[in-house]
Amino acid sequence: MKTEITELLGIEYPVIQGGMAWVAECHLAAAVSNAGGLGLIAAGGAPAEWVREQIRETKKLTDKPFGVNIMLMNPESEKVAKVIVEEGVKVVTTGAGSPEKYMADWKAAGVKVIPVVASVALAKRMERCGADAVVAEGCEAGGHIGELTTMVLVPQVADAVNIPVIAAGGIADGRGMAAAFMLGAKGIQMGTVFAASKESVIHENYKNSILKAKDIDSRVTGRSTGHPIRVLRNDMARKYLELEKSGAPFEELEQLTLGSLRKAVQEGDTKNGSLMAGQIAGMIKEERTCADIISSTVSEAGKLMNGVSANE
Binding residues (CB under 6 A) for ligand FMN: these are 18-21, 23, 42, 44, 69, 71, 95, 116, 137, 140-143, 168-171, 189-192, 195, 276-278, 280
Q: What is the DSSP letter of 224?
A: T
Q: What is the DSSP letter of 282?
A: G
Q: Are 33 and 6 in contact (CB under 8 A)?
A: no
In the complex, minimum distance from the CB of residue 96 to ligand FMN, in angstroms, rounded to a whole number: 7
CB of 78 or CB of 252, closer to ligand FMN: 78
In the complex, minimum distance from the CB of residue 312 to ligand FMN, in angstroms, rounded to a whole number: 27
CB of 229 or CB of 253, closer to ligand FMN: 229
Q: Which residues pair with residue 71 across a beta bridge?
A: 95
Picking from 173, 172, 134, the residue whose alpha carbon sits closest to that of residue 153 is 134
In the complex, minimum distance from the CB of residue 24 to ligand FMN, in angstroms, rounded to a whole number: 7
CA atoms within 13 Å, Cβ hemisphere of 44: 17
CA atoms within 13 Å, Cβ hemisphere of 277: 37
CB of 167 or CB of 245, closer to ligand FMN: 167
CB of 49 or CB of 63, closer to ligand FMN: 49
Picking from 216, 164, 218, the residue whose alpha carbon sits closest to that of residue 191 is 218
Q: How far apart are CA 116 and CA 137, in angstroms?
A: 7
User: Looking at beta carbons, which residue is closest to ligand FMN?
Assistant: 191
In the complex, minimum distance from the CB of residue 306 to ligand FMN, in angstroms, rounded to a whole number: 24
CB of 123 or CB of 171, closer to ligand FMN: 171
In the complex, minimum distance from the CB of residue 12 to ligand FMN, in angstroms, rounded to a whole number: 20
Q: Are 32 and 290 in contact (CB under 8 A)?
A: yes
